[in-house]
Amino acid sequence: MSNETTPQRLLAAPVSTPESPALDLHEIQGDVLIGLQKNFERFVFFRIAEVAEFKSALRKRIAHRVTSTLTVKAREFQLRDHKMNGRKDPLPLVGLNVGFTNTGFKKLLASADLKDPSFDKGAAAQAPSLGDAFDGTGKLIHWKPEFLSNNIDGVFLVTGGTQAAVDEEAHHVLSILGASITVIFDETGQVRPGLEKGHEHFGWLDGVSQPGVKGLSDPFPGQRLIDPGHFVFGYPGQAGPPPLSWMNNGSFMVFRRLNQLVPEFGNFILSAAGTLGVDPVLLGARLVGRWKSGAPLALTPSQDDTTLGADPNQNNNFDFSDDQGERRCPYAAHIRKTNPRADFDQGGLSQETAVDPRRVIRAGIPFGPEVSPAEQSANTTSQERGLMFVCYQTSIPNQFEFLQISWANKPNFISDGIPPVLKKHPDGSVVKVGFDPIIGQNTVNGQPQPRTADEPVPNYPTGNVRSTLQEPQNFIVPTGGAYFFVPSIAALENELSA
């Protein structure tokens, strides 16, 4: 997701478009649209203990430290120059952002109603509907107690090029706030080492596809330009009623702590590939929709192409419109489930109405150590690792939750999904797509069930190979989460600290 290696981020250039009002880049927090530059990211979840002291510190000493999108943009050019000068040492480039949960807002602004029902209920209450496992008493089985405590009022995101720089800034912020807050949970994510930098723990390059934002992005071929109101309040494209004025230039942030069972996933791919009679590397690519290099199956269905994977001018230049028989890429593949591109274009639907309003901007980072030789040889995880998943949007139910519930977790998507578009195999039978084999959850009465996905075996070029993948378990296990609103810097300085 967002880190210093992501080529799109380094190359993004400012543009203004006639359809979109200029974005208040100095007001929008830096992680929302472009992403704070991060080799390390410390997530400090806190409870507000002393409201008046907290507000005073926020107004006088914290708000002005918060990193804006304008600063992030300037840093992109700084990083690009640094790299072009052949420098490999990280620049410290410390970033600070802050968001508040529903309980946090109630402390800061008693009358606050942010008009997002999912935000209002909170992430723990919403988790069962996303498919997170729970026991007979309704308790989320794998969630860390801190995320179940109802004590998280806010989060500081502290980012930077080095751990030392991040820790120094976090220490400074915490010492300013003193006893006005209590730290509930504190964890640092980091990009993976060496050649794995920019790749998530299963090994895939991450941060390849992000929506372009009107008024901000100069889009790469195939990258859709989307109204900023889908990600930031106060601009065209917003769903629902107009927000409170202080919500302008703010965004809802979904945080999910997602453990990844890396050796188990690798072992499953090996054994399933044996059963299905397919190369395991190709099987893995069919599950994601991309090769580990980032190259999309839609453009290179039979073999990886690392040059294509790394090239932002090519790696999103497809829309599945020429692959309506899922010959190149299965409908179930993670990137096709979460961004079906032109798959809805039948029956008068379009990407603009059916897909663009569902897009989110992702900004997560891996956490946890590399897989140890002992874990590798036992095919069993013994140290937690995964993804601190973060995404931004203006409607949690219509964007993040919709992707997870109505697309990833829905086996009859897209043939009988929202909106319903029947897809047929060449023999005329209706496609039963199955679950997203990466993030899909099939939970019945709180218990995870096995999952299926259509066409794991390459169906290219003839379309006459029929196969189904059976996944006996989930390889991604949610272990926590929280929903935040990340306000504008002006709101931090005024309404929220008054």
Is 206 part of the annotated catalytic residue set?
Answer: yes
Q: How many residues does the chain have?
A: 498
Asked if residue 209 binds ligand N7H (CB under 6 A), the reply is: yes
Judged by CB under 6 A, does residue 67 bind ligand N7H? no
Query: What x-and-dash track marks residues 217-256 binding ligand N7H by CB under 6 A?
Result: ---------------------------------------x
**368 makes contact with ligand N7H (CB under 6 A):** no
- Asked if residue 477 binds ligand N7H (CB under 6 A), the reply is no
Distances (CA, A) of 268 to 66, 262, 272, 368, 407: 43, 10, 6, 21, 23
Closest among 340, 456, 350, 489 to 402, alpha carbons compared:
340
Backbone angles phi, psi at 389, to 5 degrees: -80, 130
Residue 356 near residue 226, CB atoms below 8 Å: yes
* Residue of 159, 338, 393, 441 interacting with ligand N7H (CB under 6 A): 338
Q: How many residues bind ligand N7H (CB under 6 A)?
A: 26
Angle 208-211-213 (CA atoms, 0-180°, nearest 5)? 135
**Rounded Cα gap, residues 467 and 458, in angstroms:** 9
Among 143, 202, 318, 435, contact with ligand N7H (rule: CB under 6 A): 202
- Shortest gap between Cβ of 438 and ligand N7H (angstroms)? 4
> Toward ligand N7H, which CB reaches closer, 104 or 198?
198
Report, in Å, the least distance between residue 144 CB and ligand N7H.
Answer: 16
Q: Which is nearer to ligand N7H, 104 or 237 (CB)?
A: 237
Considering only 112, 414, 439, 486, the residue that binds ligand N7H (CB under 6 A) is 439
Tell me if 290 contacts ligand N7H by CB under 6 A: yes
Question: Is 272 a binder of ligand N7H (CB under 6 A)?
Answer: no
Does 339 participate in binding ligand N7H (rule CB under 6 A)? yes
Give the number of other CB atoms < 10 A from CB of residue 264: 16
Q: Which two tokens stand for residue 381?
A: 């995880």
Nearest residue (CB) to ligand N7H, 63 versus 308? 308
CA distance 235 to 212: 15
Quick check: 291 binds ligand N7H (CB under 6 A)? no
Selected binder of ligand N7H within 395, 404, 452, 497 (CB under 6 A): 404
**Which of the ranges 7-15, 71-79, 278-286, 384-392 carries the binding residues for ligand N7H, by CB under 6 A?**
384-392
Q: Please write down the HEC assignment for all residues of 446-489.
A: CEECCEEEECCCCCCCCCCCCCEEEECCCCEEEEEEEEEEECCH
Q: Are 25 and 70 in contact (CB under 8 A)?
A: yes
- Dihedral angle over CA of 387, 385, 479, 156, nearest 10: -60
474 touching ligand N7H, by CB under 6 A: no
List the Cα angle 273/276/279 in 5-degree steps: 40
Nearest approach in angstroms of CB 343 to ligand N7H is 12
Catalytic: which of 116, 132, 153, 206?
206
338/459 with CB nearer ligand N7H: 338
Q: Which stretch binds ligand N7H (CB under 6 A): 45-53, 221-229, 400-408, 411-419?
A: 400-408
Q: What is the DSSP string of 12-53?
A: ------TTSPPP-TTTSBHHHHT----SEEEEEEEEES-HHH
**Residues 296-335 interacting with ligand N7H (rule: CB under 6 A):** 334-335
CB of residue 358 to ligand N7H, shortest distance in Å: 8
Instruction: Write the DSSP assignment of 185-232 as a string of letters.
Output: EEEEEEPPSGGGTTB-TTS-B-S----EETTT--PPTTPPEE-GGGTS
Residue from 23, 297, 355, 438 touching ligand N7H (CB under 6 A): that is 438
* Residue 351 contacts ligand N7H per CB under 6 A: no
Part in contact with ligand N7H (CB under 6 A); list of ranges 60-68, 199-207, 239-247, 447-455: 199-207
Q: Per rule CB under 6 A, is residue 204 in the interface with ligand N7H?
A: yes
Q: Dump the DSSP string for 356-387.
A: GGG--EE--EEESPPPPHHHHHHT---S--EE
Q: Does 387 bind ligand N7H (CB under 6 A)?
A: yes
Which position among 4, 153, 200, 319 is part of the footprint of ligand N7H (CB under 6 A)? 200
Torsion of CA 441, 446, 450, 453, to 10 degrees: -20
Q: Which is nearer to ligand N7H, 125 or 465 (CB)?
A: 125
Give the residue with the Cβ less far from ligand N7H, 161 or 386. Answer: 386
Q: Any bridge partners for residue 448, and if so which?
A: 443
Give me the least distance between CB of 277 and ligand N7H, in Å please.
23
Residue 2 as a binder of ligand N7H (CB under 6 A): the answer is no
44 belongs to the binding site for ligand N7H (CB under 6 A): no
Instruction: Look at residues 310, 333, 359 and name the one whose alpha carbon lies nearest to residue 431.
Output: 333
Residue 207 is a binding residue for ligand N7H (CB under 6 A): yes
Does 389 contact ligand N7H by CB under 6 A?
Answer: yes
* Cis peptide bond N-terminal to 418, omega within 30: no
Q: What stretches of 53-194 adopt beta strand conformation (E)?
A: 95-100, 154-160, 181-190
- Scanning 314-357, the segments in alpha helix (DSSP H) are 334-338
Catalogue the active-site residues. Answer: 206
- What residues line the site for ligand N7H (CB under 6 A)? 200, 202, 204, 206-209, 256, 258, 260, 288, 290, 334-335, 338-339, 360, 386-387, 389, 400, 403-404, 438-439, 476
